[in-house]
Structure 1
Amino acid sequence: MTATPARRLTRVPRGGRYHEAVRPRLLPALLPLLLFPLGAAQTVATPILMPSVVARYPHDRAAFTEGFQYLGNGTLMESTGIEGQSGVRRVDLKSGKVLARVATPIATAFGEGVTALNGVAYHLTWEDGVAITFDAGTLKETGRYRYSGEGWGLTTDGKALIMSNGSSTLVWRDPKTFRVTRSVQVTDAGQPVKNLNELEFVQGNVYANVWLTDRIARIDPQTGKVTAWIDVAALTREASAAAVKAGRPLTFDDVPNGIAFVPERGTLLLTGKRWATVFEVKLPGVKPEVTAPTGQGRASH
Structure 2
Amino acid sequence: MRAVFLLSLLGLVSLNTGLSQSTPPAPSPTPAPAAAPATPPILTPTVVNRYPHDRAAFTEGFQYLGDGTYIESTGLVGESGVRRVDLKTGKVLGKVATPLVTAFGEGVTVLGGLAYHLTWQDGLAFAFDMATMKEVGRYRYSGEGWGLTTNGRDLIMSNGTPTLVWRDPKTFAATRRVTVTDGGQPVKNLNELEYVQGSIYANIWLTDRIARIDPQSGKVTAWIDVAALTREASTNAAKLGRPLTFDDIPNGIAYVPERGTLLLTGKRWGTVFEVKVPGVGLTNGRAQPRR
Instruction: State the TM bucket, normalised to the shorter chain.
Output: 0.7 to 0.9
Q: Partner letter of residue 152 of structure 2? A: G
Q: Which residue of 1 aligns with 2:207?
A: 213
Q: Which residue of 2 aligns with 1:187?
A: 181
**Gaps spanning 5+ residues in structure 2: where?**
1-29
Aligned identity (percent) is 75
Answer whether contact 2:256 2:287 (CA < 8 A) is retained: no
Q: For 2:283, which of 275, 286, 289 is the aligned residue?
A: 289
Answer whether contact 2:258 2:287 (CA < 8 A) is retained: no
Q: Which residue of 1 aligns with 2:115?
A: 121
After superposition, the Cα gap between the structure-2 partners of 1:256 and 1:293, relative to the gap in structure 1 and judged at 3 Å, is same
SS at match of 2:156: strand
Q: For 2:231, which of 227, 234, 237 is the aligned residue?
A: 237
**How far off its partner does 1:100 sit?**
0.5
TM-score (structure 1 length as normaliser): 0.85
Distance 1:263 1:106 in 2: 34
Q: For 2:137, which of 143, 146, 151 is the aligned residue?
A: 143
Q: Partner letter of residue 185 of structure 2? A: Q
Answer whether contact 2:113 2:129 (CA < 8 A) is retained: yes
Q: Which residue of 1 aligns with 2:65?
A: 71
Higher Cα Rg: structure 1 or 2?
2
Answer whether contact 1:136 1:295 (CA < 8 A) is retained: no
Structure number with higher relative contact order (C-alpha < 8 Å, ≥ 6 residues apart):
1
**How far off its partner does 1:44 sit?**
2.4
Of 179-188 and 285-294, the range deviating more from structure 2: 285-294
Deviations 1:37-68 (A, max 9, x none): 97665122210000000000000000000000
Matched, 1:197 2:191: yes
Answer whether contact 1:267 1:281 (CA < 8 A) is retained: yes
**How far off its partner does 1:137 sit?**
2.2
TM-score (structure 2 length as normaliser): 0.88
Q: Which residue of 1 aligns with 2:11?
A: none
Q: Partner letter of residue 228 of structure 1? A: A
Distance 2:226 2:289 in 1: 24
Deviations 1:54-102 (A, max 9, x none): 0000000000000000001100100000000000000000000001011
Answer whether contact 1:67 1:154 (CA < 8 A) is retained: yes
Q: Which residue of 1 aligns with 2:80?
A: 86
Distance 1:195 1:234 in 2: 21
**How far off its partner does 1:159 sit?**
0.2
Answer whether contact 1:80 1:111 (CA < 8 A) is retained: yes
Distance 2:59 2:131 in 1: 20
Matched, 1:133 2:127: yes
Distance 1:278 1:292 in 2: 19
SS at match of 1:56: strand
After superposition, the Cα gap between the structure-2 partners of 1:292 and 1:137, relative to the gap in structure 1 and judged at 3 Å, is farther
Q: Which residue of 2 aligns with 1:274?
A: 268
Answer whether contact 1:116 1:294 (CA < 8 A) is retained: no
Cα RMSD after superposing both structures: 1.4
